[in-house]
Amino acid sequence: MSVMIGGITAAQLDDLVMPPLSWSVPGLLPEGFGILAAAPKIGKSWLMLNLAIAVAAGTPFLGVAVEQRPVLYFALEDGERRLQDRLRRLLNDKSAPEALILWTDPHPLEVIDAAKQFANAHAGRNPLIIIDTLARIRPPNKAGTGIYREDYQFGSSLKMIADLGATVIGVHHTRKRESEDFLESASGTNGLTGAADFVLVLARQRSDQNILLMVTGRDVAEASYKLVFDEGLWHPNGTGLTEAAEKTQGTRFGPKMQAVLTLVDSRDTTTAADVAQELGIDPDTGGRYLRRLADGGLITRPERGLYTPKTCPAARTDHRPR
């Protein structure tokens, strides 16, 4: 007896013709729900206003050419006077783009409804929606409900807007304590980042005037870029993002990341399971460190899940299996 179930067969899925992924900023900001996390006073709102103007005007952002799109920017921590001053500084006597809508004082419940309406009104054009900050609209915690679940549900409500064919970016704060993995630096539980399609983190490193922009996501390659923030304007450190990424290779790693690099350099091949066994790091985290080191050009990845030193391991004095 056959059983009827929902879903789609693998053959049917393979035959589907998918539309190409849409990007607000090619290679950096794909369609979907994302989070920009950063410490206070680092310039994250300036970065988002730079982005909003560039996308609404169709001018380059961080040196990357972008397609002009409608933009809705909820500047929930700024009044109109401050926002006007910042806008004029960034425009530098150029005309303000008509495709940029700024909203400084909506009720928290209005933000979600307005964002949905904006996404629907501009369906097919991949509009950009920026919410600065998420803390201003996140519902208060309910007694008896897990915070992780609430964070995930809140993030999922924003992802549902992005699924209408938009890019939604929520500005968020980072934790006060440093984290080995930048994905864990966003304030709150992992429920919020778990619901996101991509995550960006801004961090200023000790003894470094540059600010590091770290990016990861389901549809975007994990990468890091050194940026310069100067009087409201954001620029890549170098001629473009490619050079800005190359300059991060000398960035100091945390002790766990350095331990993974040392392990890889001491062996012929290494997997995430090896990292877990040798260093006591869970395989998922170990795999993320390995991918990051490979993306940074510090180790090589000859095949999926397998990593080797950038150069041949030094001659060993023992013959233990590796």
- DSSP for 175-191? PSS--SSGGGGBSS-HH
What's the pLDDT at 262?
Answer: 86
Of 227, 246, 265, at which residue does a domain stop? 246
**235 and 292 fall within a common domain:** no
In a domain, 125, yes or no: yes
In a domain, 5, yes or no: no
What long-range pairs does 177-185 form, CB within 8 A, spacing at least 24?
178/254, 180/254, 180/255, 180/256, 180/257, 181/285, 181/288, 181/289, 182/214, 182/216, 183/216, 183/288, 185/37
Give the domain extent around 157.
Answer: 23-246
**151 and 282 fall within a common domain:** no
5-37 per-residue burial string, b: 16 or more CB within 10 A, e: under 16: eeeeeeeeeeeeeeeeebbbbeebbbbbbbbbb
**141 and 265 fall within a common domain:** no
In a domain, 58, yes or no: yes
In a domain, 260, yes or no: yes
CA 80 to chain centre: 28
DSSP codes of every residue in 270-307: B-HHHHHHHH---HHHHHHHHHHHHHTTSEEEEETTEE
In a domain, 3, yes or no: no
In a domain, 10, yes or no: no
Domains in the chain: how many in total? 2
CA distances, 126 to each of 71, 103, 117 (Å): 9, 19, 13
What's the pLDDT at 312?
Answer: 44
What's the pLDDT at 208?
Answer: 58
Of 246, 264, 281, at which residue does a domain stop? 246
**Distance (Å, whole) CA 234 – CA 144:** 43
pLDDT in tens, the chain (322 residues): 556 677 889 999 999 998 888 999 999 999 999 999 998 889 999 999 999 999 999 999 999 999 999 999 999 999 999 999 999 999 998 999 999 999 999 998 899 999 999 999 999 999 999 999 999 999 888 776 788 889 999 999 999 999 999 999 999 987 555 554 444 555 556 788 889 999 999 987 654 567 999 998 988 888 889 999 998 999 999 888 888 887 776 555 567 877 888 899 888 999 999 999 999 988 888 888 888 788 767 788 889 899 998 754 433 333 333 3
**214 and 300 fall within a common domain:** no
In a domain, 72, yes or no: yes
**134 and 273 fall within a common domain:** no
What's the pLDDT at 201?
Answer: 92
**53 and 143 fall within a common domain:** yes
**61 and 168 fall within a common domain:** yes
**205 and 270 fall within a common domain:** no
Q: The pTM is what?
A: 0.76
Do residues 87 and 101 make contact, with C-beta atoms less than 8 angstroms apart? no
What's the pLDDT at 209?
Answer: 66
